[in-house]
Amino acid sequence: MAQRRSMLTIIGLICVFFPFTTNAAEHPVYQRPKENQEQNKSLIYIVHCEFPDGDGPNKYQDLESWYLSLLPETTSQSDHEAPRLIDSYHHFLTGFAAMLSPDDLKEMEKLEGFVSARPEELLDLCTTHSVNFLGLNKNMGFWNYSNYGKAVIIGIIDTGIFPDHPSFSDDGMPPPQLNGKSVGIDPWDEDGHGTHTASTAAGRFVPGANVFVSANGTAAGVAPLAHVAVYKACSALGCFGSDILAAMDMAIEDGVDVLSLSLGSVSNVLYESNITLGAFNAMKNGIFVSCAAGNAGPVFQLLFSSYGY
């Protein structure tokens, strides 16, 4: 892959319109090693670590400084090189993402506090059907009883959003429950997938929706009165694991109630997945994690979700 990932940008929305504009933290662009390059080239790894015996988070008030101290001297860089520490995680695990070589990994494995290091994954974007598939009725039953998701905050980790889409009108919405997250360098959806998944989760009622005058009807999300926090961590090329984990880390800090990940990978070995670890720790923080499943086909096969929490 020719270029490092899309820049992770975070957008705070009220069901689904952003009322906040603050400074965004910029993530540098990295040149990713190509798959056919030599094995001794550096790759991006997700490093999981723990505090040494007797130490705790109070001793390391600046986690990023501690993470930097764990990087071997072989990762020293010149001024023209991109930083090796890519993301620092604070909530869903103690760890970080870094550009590391095989020699770096050998050095880090000797350190007290090192737990594991796994290469980041490249995940595919997935899709889903509408509320009609679920048999939801606007005026009766479970949908009405649940108050359409009012006061629930849904975190969407995807390609961004088209904020002027009618599914994201804030007319008649209750006050936002979110802290103002930043509108990043490029928060707009370049692919359409994030807009689709966000509107599926929490799109407002939009009468007269159609596709080139066909299939006319009322469009709606599953929780049209829910608030949405959109975390742009993907592009049309897919979603890199370090970006997804950074978004999950921020979503936990923001206090979302639900995390929606309409993405997946070809692997179903959960204990080897960094994203599964993130989903598990989000669950431990009281967040319901909804992950896509059943997007492969058309052959008959056992369906699974890549991140089973």
More confident residue, 170 or 268: 170
Cα–Cα nearest to 250, from 134, 113, 146, 156: 156
Domain end point (choices 97, 120, 143): 120
157 within a domain of the structure (yes/no): yes
pLDDT-derived band at 269, boundaries 50, 70, 90: low
176 within a domain of the structure (yes/no): yes
Cα–Cα nearest to 168, from 6, 68, 19, 5: 19
Same domain membership, residue 61 and residue 16: no
Look at residue 210 in the predicted model and tell me its pLDDT. 73
Judge whether residue 260 has pLDDT over 60: yes
Using H for helix, E for strand and C for coil, what is the string for 207-220? Answer: EEEEECCEEEEEEC
Same domain membership, residue 145 and residue 115: no
Average the pLDDT over 282-288 and give the result. 91
Look at residue 35 in the predicted model and tell me its pLDDT. 45
Residues 209, 207: Cα–Cα separation, whole Å: 6
CATH number, residue 78: 3.30.70
Domain end point (choices 91, 120, 149): 120
Same domain membership, residue 173 and residue 77: no
Q: Which domain holds residue 95?
A: 43-120
Look at residue 45 in the predicted model and tell me its pLDDT. 93
Look at residue 182 in the predicted model and tell me its pLDDT. 31
Q: For residue 175, which amino acid is it?
A: P
For 82-91, 154-163, 293-302, which range has the lowest pLDDT when averaged over its residues? 293-302
Look at residue 239 in the predicted model and tell me its pLDDT. 85
| Count of structural domains within the chain | 2
Same domain membership, residue 208 and residue 280: yes
Judge whether residue 29 has pLDDT over 70: no
Same domain membership, residue 144 and residue 255: yes
Residues 181, 291: Cα–Cα separation, whole Å: 23
Same domain membership, residue 194 and residue 248: yes
For 10-24, 56-70, 177-191, which range has the lowest pLDDT when averaged over its residues? 10-24
Same domain membership, residue 262 and residue 210: yes
For 73-87, 126-140, 189-203, 224-238, which range has the lowest pLDDT when averaged over its residues? 73-87
Same domain membership, residue 270 and residue 165: yes
Same domain membership, residue 176 and residue 216: yes
Same domain membership, residue 99 and residue 131: no
Residues 219, 211: Cα–Cα separation, whole Å: 11
Residues 306, 264: Cα–Cα separation, whole Å: 6
In the chain, the percentage of residues whose pLDDT exceeds 70 is 65
Taking only the tens place, the pLDDT of each residue in 85-123 is: 888 888 878 899 999 999 899 999 988 889 999 998 887
CATH number, residue 141: 3.40.50.200
79 within a domain of the structure (yes/no): yes
Look at residue 181 in the predicted model and tell me its pLDDT. 34
Within 8 A by CB and 6+ apart from 26, the residues are 7, 185
Look at residue 7 in the predicted model and tell me its pLDDT. 45
Look at residue 42 in the predicted model and tell me its pLDDT. 85
More confident residue, 210 or 221: 221
232 within a domain of the structure (yes/no): yes
What helix, strand, coil percent values describe the chain, rounded to 5? 25, 25, 50
Domain end point (choices 94, 120, 146): 120
Same domain membership, residue 200 and residue 277: yes
Look at residue 59 in the predicted model and tell me its pLDDT. 54
Same domain membership, residue 163 and residue 21: yes
35 within a domain of the structure (yes/no): no
Tokens of 125: 């974007």
For 182-196, 243-257, 277-291, which range has the lowest pLDDT when averaged over its residues? 182-196
87 within a domain of the structure (yes/no): yes
What's the mean pLDDT when you consider all of the chain?
A: 73
Taking only the tens place, the pLDDT of each residue in 36-89 is: 344 557 899 999 988 766 565 555 457 888 888 888 875 545 444 555 888 888
